[in-house]
Amino acid sequence: MKSKWLFTGAAGISILLGASGAAARSYNPLKWIKKNPGPTANEQLAANHEEERKLSLQLQALLPAKTTLREACSGFLSLEDCVAALHASRNAKIKYNCLKWDMTAARPSGDVKTCEAPPRDKALSLVKAIRVLNSDADAKAEARNAERRAREDIKDATS
């Protein structure tokens, strides 16, 4: 009888420990595969110097004063996000450094005295960042337009 209780107790403990471990795991098979985040914006620019040169010439009017394209794109996970942020900052009349700070959650170098840190120090999407920085602007339309222009600019620079 004593061994029966020991066996039941051990089985109960193992079920309890197994259930707590399973709660930490996801049952979604897509999450089992580790995804490679891909190259950052600066890595994409460094990989193709000709594309960087063409993009720099195209976006010269959008870049902050005395800033190169690589400096402007540091911290962004993709080149398209960086170029879209440049377009959105101009179209929505938002300081680029403030928009960059909200989208990357990393304090950029330069003038950010008038900027507020992103909420909870987490990166925001372009739509949310525009909404936070300029509540008067139509954030969805501005973001959609900026992302479209960014894709066009990158496509023009690669061809």
Average pLDDT, stretch 73-101? 93
Q: What pLDDT shows up at residue 19?
A: 47
Q: What pLDDT shows up at residue 35?
A: 63
Q: Does residue 141 come out as left (phi exceeding 0), alpha (psi in the -120 to 50 range) or beta?
A: alpha
Q: In the predicted model, is pLDDT for residue 87 greater than 90?
A: yes
| pLDDT one-digit tens code per residue, 102-139 | 999 888 877 778 888 888 889 999 999 999 999 999 99
Whether residue 78 contacts residue 41, with contact meaning beta carbons closer than 8 Å, is answered with yes
Q: In the predicted model, is pLDDT for residue 21 greater than 60?
A: no
Q: What pLDDT shows up at residue 22?
A: 47
Residue-averaged pLDDT of the chain:
84
